[in-house]
Amino acid sequence: MKEKVFHFINENERFEKFIYFLIIFNILLIILESIAELKALFGNLFYVLELFSVIIFSIEYLLRIWTADLDKGRLNFIKSPMGIIDLIAILPFYLPL
C-alpha cells in the first residue's frame, strides 16, 4: 500500500497537475480575498475553499512524510526545501487552533 501511495504522489502526472492547479487557485483566492468588497460578498466561500485546500495539502504532506522512508527518509524529507515549503504552506492555518 505504501509503495502505491508513494508512486501516486511522486510519479502521477495528474496528481502533480492537480496540486499545481490548487496552488495557483489559492494564490488567486488570496488576491481576490484582499479586495474588501469581494471578501464581504464571498467571505464564507473563500473560507470553505481555503479549508478544502488546506485539507488536501495536509493530507499530501502527511502522505509524503509517511512514504519518505521509501526514498531518502522521513527526516530528510522534513528538512528538505520541499518539505519545509509544504509545512510553511499549511502551518498558518493550524497556528490559531
Q: In order along the chain (97 residues), what is the average pLDDT of each group of 10 residues?
A: 95 96 94 95 95 95 96 94 94 88
pLDDT on residue 97: 78
Identify the pLDDT of residue 45.
96
Task: Using alpha carbons, list the distances in angstroms from residue 9 to 2, 21, 59, 86, 90.
Answer: 11, 15, 11, 14, 18
pLDDT for res 8: 96
pLDDT of residue 9: 95
pLDDT for 25: 95
Q: How many other C-beta atoms can be found within 10 angstroms of the C-beta atom of residue 79?
A: 11
